[in-house]
Structure 1
Amino acid sequence: MKERIPLEEGDYYLSEQGYKVFTEKYLLKRGYCCESGCRHCPYGYNAKTNTQN
């Protein structure tokens, strides 16, 4: 099981639909790419092509 990282201010915002959207800041703090196609992925993962840049 991966280490659970506590959420802090600036780690996410709520979308218009009410979903949590993680920021680049949080994703970098987490330290790895989950390959889910996150909107602000700092690791360059593209869910459409299943590749990282």
Structure 2
Amino acid sequence: MSKNQTRLRKALKPKLTGLTEDDYYLNDKGFVVFTEKYHLRRGYCCKSGCLHCPYGFNPKQTREVPKPESK
């Protein structure tokens, strides 16, 4: 882990209460990335297209169903 990532992790720690270091990591751009372990512990898919989604959700394969037109 780089010095910058360590600094970001310390800054985010108060906002990420209840999470362990196995639940997430910071990518090269400083974004929080949740691990498969975290998703499984949470117990459901949020349908956000998470990188480590263990539930198989793929936003590219999901189609929006058009709403019926009201008369």
- Normalising by the smaller structure, the TM-score range is 0.7 to 0.9
Identity %: 62
SS at match of 1:46: coil
Q: CA deviation at 1:6?
A: 1.7
Deviations 1:9-49 (A, max 9, x none): 21000010000000000000000000000000000000111
Structure having greater relative contact order (Cα 8 Å, sep ≥ 6) = 1
Q: Which structure 1 segments of 5+ residues have no match?
A: none
Question: How many residues were matched structurally?
Answer: 47
Distance in 2 (alpha carbons) for counterparts of 1:36 and 1:50: 11
> 2:28 aligned to 7, 16, 23, which one?
16
Structure 1-normalised TM-score?
Answer: 0.81
Consecutive aligned runs of 4 or more in structure 1 exceeding 2 Å deviation? none
Structure 2-normalised TM-score?
Answer: 0.62
Root-mean-square deviation over aligned CA pairs: 1.7
